[in-house]
Amino acid sequence: MKTDYDIGRVAKMSGITSRTLRHYDDIGLLTPAWTGPDGRRHYGHTELLRLQHILVLRELGTGLDRIASIVDSDDPSTTIALLRDHLAGLTAQRERYARLAATVARTIDSLERGQPMTTAHIFDGFDHERYEPEARERWADDAVDRANASWQGLGEDGKRRHMRTDREIVEALGAAVRVGFAADSAEVQDIVAKHHAWLSEIWIPDAAAYRSLTQMYVDDERFRAHYDEVARGAALLLRDGAAEFVRIRL
């Protein structure tokens, strides 16, 4: 036969290791055209094409099981559907790494300017996993104590920074209200995330606590006045945004 490549040749041609080829044989992803009496694997042209296909999909980050189903079904629309699915995942990954990189860069930046690793800064772009929507009333009990303790522990400098961040949030919210952003828009969600992170500096609220806190911002005159200072409706927007935030992120 003309097209007879042993495992080493295939490995060199494709740039993968022979181990990988053996692995693909083991899991039935790529079976050699024939196996010699000595157990050596021999690949033909068909297998090379299949391997190419596999490698492309692998390079795209697809899992081997999914690759198998794609390669096995020659149906283009199946391939397209699967790829489209996969594309969404890739884009999400890319954005995730972009955010992480930006956050790390910012963290480095602030560290180099002598600032400690404050949680507020650090929690930018932080992905909180979900909490269970269970009753956790007791947490709220000593929450105030702990919040006070944290606040005391911040020091003069920390307190001032904290206040400044608060100001930024109020202004961002005001701008959002004026522009007319919805509570579930990315822009408002960013602000809410920032607010949550800011809050976490002195107190780590769970989902329920965070929602009731933002509700309180609406109900309590003094708080509402504080948040509505730049634009009326900011406290409401924060509350609604927080509800959405909790639903999605906590």
Partner DNA sequence: TGTAGAAGTTCACGCCGCGTCAACATCAAG
Partner DNA sequence: CTTGATGTTGACGCGGCGTGAACTTCTACA
List residues near DNA by CB under 7 A: 6-9, 11, 16-20, 22-23, 36, 38-41, 58, 63-65, 134
CB of 178 to DNA, least distance (A): 28
Taking the least distance from each CB to its own copies, the nearer of 49 and 216 is: 49
Taking the least distance from each CB to its own copies, the nearer of 39 and 76 is: 76
Report what 226 binds from its own copies, DNA, none; CB cut-off 5-8 Å by kind.
Answer: none
CB of 217 to DNA, least distance (A): 29
CB of 131 to DNA, least distance (A): 13
CB of 248 to its own copies, least distance (A): 13
Report what 47 binds from DNA, its own copies, none; CB cut-off 5-8 Å by kind.
Answer: none
Report what 119 binds from DNA, its own copies, none; CB cut-off 5-8 Å by kind.
Answer: its own copies
3-state secondary structure the chain: CCCCEEHHHHHHHHCCCHHHHHHHHHCCCCCCCEECCCCCEEECHHHHHHHHHHHHHHHCCCCHHHHHHHHHCCCHHHHHHHHHHHHHHHHHHHHHHHHHHHHHHHHHHHHHCCCCCCHHHHCCCCCCCCCCCCCCHHHHHCHHHHHHHHHHHHHHHHHHHHHHHHHHHHHHHHHHHHHCCCCCCHHHHHHHHHHHHHHHCCCCCCHHHHHHHHHHHHHCHHHHHHHCCCCCCHHHHHHHHHHHHHHHHC
Taking the least distance from each CB to its own copies, the nearer of 62 and 214 is: 62
